[in-house]
Amino acid sequence: AVPAKIRVGGGTHSSATTSSGGDGVEGDGSTTSEGGSAKGKEGLPMVEINFLCVHKKLRTKRLAPVLIREITRRVNLFDIWQASYTAGVIIPTPVATCRYFHRSLNPKKLIEVGFSKLGKRMTLSRTIKLHKLPASPSTKGLRKMKKEDAPQVLALLNAYLSRFDLACLFQSVDEIEHWFLPRDDVIYTYVVESEQSGKITDLMSFYSLPSTIIGNEHHKELRAAFSYYNIANTVDLKSLMEDALVVAQLNKFDVFNALDIMQNAQFMRDLKFGIGDGHLQYYLYNWKIKKALAPSQVGLVLL
């Protein structure tokens, strides 16, 4: 579990309170006075639940409810009463349902391991040519994020995320440094620095989540990049994300994955993202919402 401040509301839900009136977010009766902090831009203290793992041999022993009760108890000790989490399965009741999209960076390998397959009337050479990317990024002023960029990145992120109805509120420079400072095979963050003012105007980031390939003689690992937070203020979002694909390919990633949240749907078709067969449900614990959010209203990425 990771402590975080999540803004539930904003936009059409900016009048959210713990009362049952209006069209906003509604407490379920067991929330504390913290529920009022969902108003405006203050956000609500929550934890992000990242993993709930039970060994295969123990999955019929009903250990999941025990683990959920225990993590709830521990979180409550810190006076936090709400949580956000995601799952690939539907349980009552999602606040948003999103879809995964995939962009091939190494089509030959993806076909060989069974991740994707050749389309009708397509050859391997034509598929490789179709997914060919430029040799280097095209955005002027694009560079890796540095430690000294963190204060500007904090302001940039919170300003951008304020337009979404479910979003993280980053609280400090230290938090930005932890989540965004580039680390090979973990997180890749690039910023656009204005030549005139020297200010950070745009941001592009993705994280690494590789998978083990079982039963293939030639390939042992699938290197997958996942879109994180991307902000295009002075450049075209499509161009910025094409540069993200180029950077991922230069770092030997095989596939670039993205959810259709935030503004991601704007570039997916043009950049040849293919629709995945999996959905991701967003959930809030001990906090309910009257109307499910569209993916474009979600500005929260859980690592």
- Provide φ and ψ at 231, rounded to 5°: -130, 120
Least confident of 18-22, 249-253, 268-272, 293-297: 18-22
Share of the chain above pLDDT 90, in %: 76
Distances in Å between the alpha carbon of 252 and those of 55, 146, 150, 171, 242?
32, 22, 27, 33, 16
Nearest-angstrom CA–CA distance, 145 and 179: 12
Which H or E run includes 202?
A: strand 200-208
**Average pLDDT of the chain to the nearest whole number:** 88
Residue 27, pLDDT above cutoff 60: no
Known catalytic residues are: 303
Residue 254: CB partners within 8 Å, gap ≥ 6?
A: 104, 105, 106, 109, 110, 115, 222, 223, 224
Mean pLDDT for 233-244 is: 97
User: What's the whole-model pTM score?
Assistant: 0.87
Nearest-angstrom CA–CA distance, 201 and 234: 7
DSSP state of 289: E
pLDDT digits (tens, 9 = 90+) for 110-140: 999 999 988 888 899 999 999 999 999 999 9
Nearest-angstrom CA–CA distance, 194 and 202: 9
pLDDT tier at 24, thresholds 50, 70, 90: very low
pLDDT digits (tens, 9 = 90+) for 6-19: 878 633 333 333 22
Mean pLDDT for 68-80 is: 95
Q: Amino acid identity, residue 258? A: A
pLDDT tier at 5, thresholds 50, 70, 90: confident
What pLDDT score was predicted for residue 115?
92
pLDDT digits (tens, 9 = 90+) for 186-206: 999 999 999 899 999 999 999
